């Protein structure tokens, strides 16, 4: 699932909670729950190659120019997720920020595990792969993108 979708879902579910710890936790847990649903990922061939399970626990990602186009796409996805969360939800800005941060953090931790393979990050990477749906819609761009747009619209409509 793309980061913008995770940010919207996490913010939608957590925005009305009064406790910022609970806001973060709901956003964070929503990531794993919705990664269990079959979904689409945008193409990132260098990152996908670096994330291959056979390379787990090894440094396979860096800030080199080879990765720049794909990291720029991730940064844009992240920025769009936060921007749409602030645009569509009326909670306090700190609440929106914490909910969206919790919701996208699991994917960022996976990337960090490939840049700095420390034990806790590698264990998280394994857990993240374990909960992740094995059914991928990556080859079906119409269904994959359409379903993510539909999920975003549904969560905005239901929780705005």
pLDDT at 53: 66
Which pairs count as long-range contacts for 90-97, CB under 8 Å and 24+ apart, including other chains?
A: 90/15, 90/160, 91/11, 91/15, 91/16, 94/20, 95/14, 95/15, 95/17, 95/20, 95/23, 96/11, 96/15
Check: pTM over 0.85? Answer yes or no. Answer: yes
Q: Considering the chain, what percentage of its residues have pLDDT values greater than 90?
A: 69
Instruction: Supply φ then ψ for residue 135, to 5 degrees.
Output: -85, 120
Return the top range by mean pLDDT from 56-65, 68-77, 142-151.
142-151
* Alpha helix (H) residue ranges in 17-140: 20-35, 45-50, 68-88, 93-115, 119-131
Report pLDDT digits (tens) over 18-52.
Answer: 899 999 999 999 999 999 999 998 877 666 666 66
Q: Once rounded to an integer, what is the mean pLDDT over residues 131-148?
A: 93
- CA 31/CA 26 separation, integer angstroms: 9
**Cβ(128)–Cβ(110) under 8 Å?**
yes
In order of 14, 62, 63, 71, 86, the CA distances from 47 in angstroms are 30, 10, 12, 9, 28
pLDDT at 116: 84
Q: Which residue has the tokens 């806790």?
A: 120
């Amino acid at each position: 699932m793309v980061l913008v979708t995770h940010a919207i879902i996490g913010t939608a579910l957590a925005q009305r909670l009064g406790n910022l710890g609970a806001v973060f936790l709901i956003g964070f847990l929503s990531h794993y729950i919705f990664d269990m649903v079959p979904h689409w990922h945008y193409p990132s061939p260098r990152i996908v190659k670096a994330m291959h399970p056979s390379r787990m626990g090894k440094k396979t990602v860096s800030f080199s120019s080879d990765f720049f186009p794909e990291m720029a796409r991730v940064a844009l996805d992240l920025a769009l997720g936060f921007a749409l969360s602030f645009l569509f939800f009326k909670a306090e800005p700190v609440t929106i920020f914490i909910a969206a941060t919790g919701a996208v953090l699991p994917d960022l931790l996976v990337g960090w595990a490939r840049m700095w393979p420390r034990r806790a990050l590698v264990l998280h990477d394994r857990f993240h792969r374990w909960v992740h749906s094995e059914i991928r819609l990556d080859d079906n761009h119409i269904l994959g993108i359409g379903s993510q747009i539909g999920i975003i619209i549904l969560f905005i409509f239901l929780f705005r």
